[in-house]
Chains A and B, each alone.
Chain A
């Protein structure tokens, strides 16, 4: 139940939210930077914990509805409170997280501990005043968006208008207004009239970061469709279809399965998008539909193991990917965003690819192999053949230790990496 199922920084990076299989959301807050200690950024400590979703039972189908949090998305901050959307398979909730650091004291009829005073002892009247108290963080559900999805919700994405958002399940995408919970508009429906003809499902969807009428959705066949909501109410016909022709030399029984896209993320500029399939990360230029501009192999050594991975279901693991944020020291140069992409792998490894230098690195998130405050040692996986010193053989990889969720601070080089049960926060070495 403590399996982490989603990780997301808020827009400022001060808060980091995680959702888990038990329906809980845990929010971490970065300590205010100590100006004198310039060699260390603030640490993240637990800020708030609340139960977002409870398990439910669908009586019509006689099935349990998991409380696992599939996605969390933060709203940009508009006032003192923070808002986030969290979703399980069926229901999306808008949570308000607010701080309380004062409380009224000096009631006339109540003691400080809440007990009622004997009215006969009240001889004077006083006005209650607010006095400081220990910080209390409260989370309350403000909206519940339910009963709009027959299938399992895999994505939510807030529009750049900050008023609407989309939620996508296996076959449909719905558009919501954040204020309205009893109505949503269906904007994509790929359910065939005859379910036997179903061969493709929606795997992820995201709004364009700048254009509020544009969104993309990816499929289990490795295609991405870009749709424009201005074209029609039901965006069943895409405006653009991104698909790379299959490489005939790599054809296998599992070609389709490994081409299934598990995550899609726009770059901050909106010019590029990144997709993750089972073995690779691809960068697409929105202006070019017939192939990605870059492809990075995450764990090509698994290609010869696909049959075993199919048998043990690992081939269906859904890895996410993320772009780096803006490097604070050079934030005037927007080219620095999008220069690094990160994604997870097995054996608690995660990978980073530098798009400019074309270098890549494999790092490990584990307590045993890394002491705190030491630089992570790069790892290398070798094939089943000869193994050099310090290399790990592909046959000794632990496929139960998978890093599916990673997140990058929007402004600093701080990353959050979730292993099955633990959250690791790494920062780059500052000199």
Chain B
């Protein structure tokens, strides 16, 4: 479903471009330009989302890749300005989150065929081939990093770090959520941008701090939601699907797929269709209504008591 939607957009995009072409002679070069642009766009996304370094990635590299993505997006927007669904009237002034949302359709067609690697996916490690959620996981790792990359490489001691990290970062998120729910995104971004003492792990793990912040404000909130705590407290790092589904049916549960490496592959593949659906719901990229950053916030508020219970209990 999501995949088809994504493909349709691409095809229409291409058709639209060709339809707009002034003269037939312009056709092929315009198409190849579009192809090249799309290739570069995909490569850029690959670079940003698939990198799982043990050390902090280069901020310069990330900024340059991000600028590339933004530029391509601007071009796409301008070209597609005839088409209403490309116009997002209430677009938040947040190019990075745009990138994030728009990134989803780029990979959404991958989601529909989780086990069928495309050219790009084939170069990725197996875990990330399975779902686009694995790409989202990298954002999730902004808040629970060690679980991800320490999973396969260094088991127990960093695992403790992961518990502490997601714990402390989630606590911070909760604190940030409390005062200003509607501006929580900005607040979360701000506090995450504060590199030093108080909010250590939530920002840059894979990416330098701040870059994924607002774009993954949703994912941050996801991490702070109780599901995480229950999971880490009780089962180690295996995701508890049923609990997630019960509590956060409307929220993109793919955010919880923070550890495909250590979780059973069955669990990972099971998550794929769920996450794809959730992607559609929560990340309507080309819709003109403001994307739902506020909704998870509101829902989180109601779950804060639950979180505190779990924290106190564990």
Cα distance, A311 to B43, chains bound together (Å) = 7
Chain B hits for A307, CB < 8 A: 36, 39-40
Residue of B nearest to A194 (CB): B189
One of B36, B68, B96, B196 near A150 (C-beta < 8 A): B196
Q: Does B60 contact A (CB under 8 A)?
A: yes
Residue B250 at the chain A interface, CB threshold 8 Å: no
Alpha-carbon distance A151/B57, docked complex (angstroms): 10
Taking a contact as CB atoms under 8 Å apart, the answer to whether B193 and A194 are in contact is: yes
Is residue A198 contacting chain B, with contact meaning CB distance below 8 A? Answer: yes
Whether the pair A62, B55 counts as a contact (CB closer than 8 A) is no
Q: Are B60 and A220 in contact (CB under 8 A)?
A: yes
A253-B190 in contact (CB<8A): no
Contacts of B43 in A (CB 8 A): 310-311
Specify the chain B residue showing the minimal Cβ separation from A256. B67
Name which of B70, B72, B165 has the most chain A CB atoms within 10 A of its CB.
Answer: B165
B64 on the A face (CB < 8 A): yes
Residue A80 interfacial (CB < 8 Å):
no
Whether, in the assembled complex, A193 has its beta carbon less than 8 Å from a beta carbon of chain B, the answer is: yes
Interface footprint category on A: 20 to 34
- Determine if B214 and A152 form an interchain contact, defined as CB atoms under 8 angstroms apart: no
Check: B195 CB closer than 8 A to any chain A CB. yes
**Interface residue from B40, B63, B192 paired with A253 (Cβ < 8 Å):** B40
CB of B209 within 8 Å of the partner chain: yes
Distance between Cα atoms of A330 and B61 in the complex (Å): 43
Q: Are B60 and A201 in contact (CB under 8 A)?
A: yes
Closest to B47 in A: A313
Residues of the B chain whose Cβ atoms lie less than 8 Å from the Cβ of A198:
63, 210-211
Chain B residues with CB under 8 A of A253: 36-37, 40, 68, 71-72
**B-side contacts of A201, CB under 8 Å:** 59-60, 63
Chain B's interface size range is 35 or more
Which of A62, A257, A260, A311 has most B Cβ within 10 Å?
A62
Q: How far is the CA of A193 from the CA of B186 in the complex (A)?
A: 11
Q: Binary interface profile of B, 48-78, with partner A (CB < 8 Å = 1, else 0)?
A: 0000011110111101101110111000000
Chain A residues numbered 211-238 whose CB sits less than 8 Å from any CB in chain B: 220
For residue B38, give the distance in angstroms from its CB to the closest CB of chain A. Answer: 11
Interface string of A60-104 (1 = CB under 8 A from B): 111111100000000000000000000001000000000000000
- Across the interface, do B56 and A63 meet the contact criterion of CB distance under 8 Å? yes
Give min CB distance, B162 to chain A, whole Å.
7
| A36 beta carbon closer than 8 Å to chain B | no
The residue of chain A having its C-beta at the shortest distance from the C-beta of B196 within the complex is A150
Task: Indicate whether B213 reaches chain A with its CB closer than 8 angstroms.
Answer: yes
Residues on the A chain within 8 Å of B204, using CB: 61
From B40, B56, B196, residue with most partner A Cβ within 10 Å: B56
Main secondary structure of the interface of B (DSSP, over half): helix
Q: Check B158 against A62 for contact (C-beta < 8 Å).
A: yes
The answer for the CA separation of A311 and B45 in the assembled complex, in Å, is: 11
Contact B36 A316 (CB under 8 A): no
Inter-chain contact A257/B36, CB cutoff 8 Å: no
A64 and B60 contact, Cβ closer than 8 Å, known pairs A151-B208, A196-B189, A311-B43: no
Q: Which of A60, A194, A195, A198 has the most CB of B within 10 A?
A: A195
Task: List chain B residues, Cβ under 8 A from A199.
Answer: 63, 66-67, 70
Kindly state whether residue B296 has any CB partner on chain A within 8 Å.
Answer: no
Task: Determine if A62 and B64 form an interchain contact, defined as CB atoms under 8 angstroms apart.
Answer: no
Q: A60-B200, A61-B205, A152-B59 are in contact. Are A260 and B64 (CB under 8 A)?
A: yes
Within 8 A of A (CB), among B247-286: none
Least CB distance, A260 to chain B, in whole angstroms:
6
Chain B residues whose C-beta falls within 8 Å of the C-beta of A206 in the assembled complex:
none
Q: Determine whether the beta carbon of B59 is less than 8 Å from that of A61.
A: no
Q: Chain B nearest CB: distance from A202 CB in Å? A: 9
Q: Which residue of A lies closest to B40 (CB)?
A: A253
A203 at the interface (CB under 8 A from B): yes
Cα–Cα distance between A150 and B213 once the two chains are bound (Å):
17
Contact indicator A220/B64 (Cβ below 8 Å):
yes
Query: Could you tell me the distance between the alpha carbons of A424 and B165 in the complex, rounded to whole angstroms?
Result: 46
Chain A residues within an 8 Å CB radius of B158: 62
**Complex CA distance for A200 and B200, rounded to whole angstroms:** 23
Indicate if B201 sits at the interface (CB-CB under 8 A): yes
Instruction: Say whether A364 faces chain B, with CB atoms less than 8 Å apart.
Output: no
Contact of B145 with A by CB under 8 A: yes
- Give complex CA distance A256, B61 in Å: 12
Q: Is B287 an interface residue (CB 8 A)?
A: no
Instruction: Decide: B145 and A61 in contact? CB cutoff 8 A.
Output: yes
Min Cβ gap A186→B in Å is: 13
* CA A171 to CA B161, docked complex, whole Å: 28
Question: B181 at interface (Cβ–Cβ under 8 A)?
Answer: no
Checking B60, B66, B72, B192 against A203 with a beta-carbon cut-off of 8 angstroms, the contacting residue is: B60
A199 and B64 alpha carbons, distance in the complex (Å)? 7
B109 within 8 A of A: no
CB distance from A46 to the nearest CB of B (A): 29
A170 CB within 8 Å of chain B = yes
In the complex with contacts A199-B67, A310-B43, A62-B162 CB distance below 8 A: yes
Q: For residue B192, which residues in chain A have a CB less than 8 angstroms away from its CB?
A: 195
Q: Please state if B59 and A196 are interface contacts (CB–CB under 8 Å).
A: no
Query: What's the least CB distance linking B145 to chain A, in Å?
Result: 5
Asked whether, in the complex, the Cβ of B150 is within 8 Å of the Cβ of A257, the reply is no
Judge whether A62 and B205 touch: CB under 8 Å: yes
Are A316 and B64 interface neighbours, CB within 8 A?
yes
Is the Cβ of B161 less than 8 Å from the Cβ of A170?
no
B interface residues, Cβ below 8 angstroms from A: 36-37, 39-40, 43, 47, 53-56, 58-61, 63-64, 66-68, 70-72, 94-97, 145-146, 150, 158, 161-162, 165, 186, 189-190, 192-193, 195-196, 200-201, 203-205, 208-211, 213-215
Q: A62-B205, A63-B55 are in contact. List 9 more A-B contacts (CB 8 A).
A: A61-B201, A62-B161, A63-B205, A65-B55, A150-B195, A150-B196, A170-B59, A196-B95, A196-B211
Query: What residues of chain A have their CB less than 8 Å away from a CB belonging to chain B?
Result: 59-66, 89, 150-152, 170-171, 191, 193-196, 198-201, 203, 220, 253, 256-257, 260, 307, 310-311, 313, 316
A–B complex contacts, Cβ < 8 Å, 12 sampled: A62-B158, A64-B55, A152-B58, A170-B59, A195-B193, A196-B214, A196-B215, A199-B67, A203-B60, A253-B36, A307-B40, A316-B60
